[in-house]
Amino acid sequence: MKPLWIGTYHGRHDGTQATATSTRDGTRPEPYAWTCTCGATQAFLTDYGLDRSAWRHTHPTLWDQLRQKAARLLRTRNTR
């Protein structure tokens, strides 16, 4: 059976264009997975966190910026 396509994530890391594709393959013990053009791959038991993980991998710089922004917001809230 052919793996079922779920999503494609275009991004950039290590100075090069990268594309990750997430799929579902019912024949594997961990059916949900994404594979990047750089060779990296990650498998999951459920689709929980699949999109986030693939997006994070293809957008490391944006992810860092978002994380810092969130940390700043949390700090502001906690000091109030």
* Other Cβ atoms within 10 Å of 51 Cβ, number: 15
CB of 79 to Zn ion, least distance (A): 38
The C-alpha angle with vertex 52 and arms to 19 and 16, in degrees rounded to 5, equals: 25
Per-residue x/- mask for Zn ion, residues 10 to 49, rule CB under 5 A? Answer: --------x-----------------x-x-x---------
Cα 43 from Cα 31, distance rounded (Å): 7
Q: Which is nearer to Zn ion, 32 or 54 (CB)?
A: 54
Residues lying near Zn ion in the complex (CB under 5 A): 18, 36, 38, 40
